[in-house]
Structure 1
């Protein structure tokens, strides 16, 4: 019998590593843009180069950590809510079986740190890990779901995340359009 708490820290490590991968890329991008605009050399007069890099890395790591933590909280809530609606498992035993899927995100996050200079690869890796985890989740909990319950579970997840992503994209586009409209011609 294995101890079920052995993998309990994997989600935290995965969130930290994915946050680090995105922070490394964005830090390089921001520093490059600051140098192109001529601001970086002025900043070096007040703060050392390592001070700028460490401060920027800390802030970006914190930002991405909060984003991924919020996404995990939302994902856990939607999974448990859909289990409430569609599953016959009232004890929550099936969710304990799913915890082993944290290996998927851990492996993907380690690879993401190694590919941190390539944003597209990191994003694709995150999406592939998320889809793989979803397939693993459906496979593990399918024994407690009837066929209509399984369809309901899958549609609940797909519809929720589709609406969520579309709402975020819509909000970003509205913000971008209002910013561009406010610029003088």
Structure 2
């Protein structure tokens, strides 16, 4: 019997590595924009180049860490709610089996850090890791669900994340439209 705590730190490492990958890309983007706007040279009078880069990287890492931590909290909650509504497993034994799927995110996050200069690749790696984990999750819990329970479990997950992503998209779209409308012509 293996120790179930061996992989308990993988989600934290995965969140840190995905956060680092996104932070590295966004840092490069922001620095390029600061140079193009002519602001970067003025900043160098007050802070060293390495100081600017490290501070920016730290703040971006913190921001993305908070975003991914919130997403993990939402994911854990929706999985446990789905299990509550549709599973016959009342003791939570299946959730312990699912936790071993954290390897999927760990592998994706390591690749993301290695390819951090390509935003599309990092986003695709996150999406592929998430979809792979979802397939792994459904496979692991499927034997504790009857057919209607399995369908309900899948639909609960799909509907929650679809509504969540649409709400975020429309909120960003509304914010963008109000920003563009406020600009003088």
CA positional deviation for 1:113: 0.2
Tell me the matched-pair count. 185
Gaps of 5+ in 1: none
Poorly superposed stretches of 4+, deviation over 3 Å = none
Q: Which residue of the partner structure matches residue 44 of structure 1?
A: 44
Q: Which residue of the partner structure matches residue 108 of structure 2?
A: 108
1:94 is aligned to 2:94? yes
CA positional deviation for 1:143: 0.7
Gaps of 5+ in 2: none
For 1:108 and 1:84, how far apart are their aligned partners in 2? 29
* Aligned pairs (5 A) from 1:6-45: 6-45=6-45
Q: Which residue of the partner structure matches residue 183 of structure 2?
A: 183
Q: Which residue of the partner structure matches residue 54 of structure 1?
A: 54
For 2:100 and 2:92, how far apart are their aligned partners in 1? 15
For 1:146 and 1:41, how far apart are their aligned partners in 2? 64
For 1:108 and 1:44, how far apart are their aligned partners in 2? 36
List per-residue Cα deviations over 1:49-97 (Å, max 9, x = no partner).
0000000000000000000000000000000001000000000000000
* Paired residue secondary structure (2:165): helix
For 1:135 and 1:66, how far apart are their aligned partners in 2? 25
CA positional deviation for 1:35: 0.2
The TM-score normalised by the length of structure 2 is 1.00
